[in-house]
């Protein structure tokens, strides 16, 4: 029997695989992890998930070419802002 728990609040489902489900306690989609940690598994035996947080990149030249004037809040939220379109060198 696979039991998974919500990463945020601990709400559990039986007979599910780890993944993303709607949590009835959090009222949103959350990651559900396998319940191994609570069943005596050693930390080294647990599967680990490493996910990069989403990033926002904005290319101002491309935005200009398609007629998009990015609002200030999008520019402030962007992790990277590029001024030009660069192509890799051809060998």
Distance CA 72, CA 78 (A): 10
- Domain boundaries, position 31: 3-39
Same domain, yes or no: 7 and 35: yes
Q: Is the dihedral of CA 7, 10, 13, 14 positive or negative?
A: positive
How many structural domains compose the chain?
A: 2
Distance CA 32, CA 34 (A): 7
Instruction: Check whether 75 has a pLDDT greater than 80.
Output: yes
Q: What is the pTM of this model?
A: 0.41
Residue 82 lies in a domain: yes
Residue 76 lies in a domain: yes
Residue 8 lies in a domain: yes
At 18-73, the pLDDT tens digits run: 778 787 777 778 777 776 655 666 667 766 667 777 889 999 999 999 999 999 99
Same domain, yes or no: 7 and 33: yes
Same domain, yes or no: 7 and 31: yes
- Here the tokens at position 35 are 């319940």
């Amino acid at each position: 029997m696979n039991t998974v728990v919500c990463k945020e609040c601990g709400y559990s489902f039986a007979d599910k695989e780890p993944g993303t489900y709607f949590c009835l306690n959090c009222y949103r989609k959350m990651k559900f992890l396998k319940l191994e940690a609570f069943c005596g598994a050693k930390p080294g035996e647990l599967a680990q998930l490493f996910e990069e947080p989403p990033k926002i990149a904005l290319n101002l030249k491309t935005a200009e070419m398609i007629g998009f004037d990015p609002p200030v809040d999008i520019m402030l939220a962007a992790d990277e802002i590029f001024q030009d379109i660069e192509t890799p060198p051809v060998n």
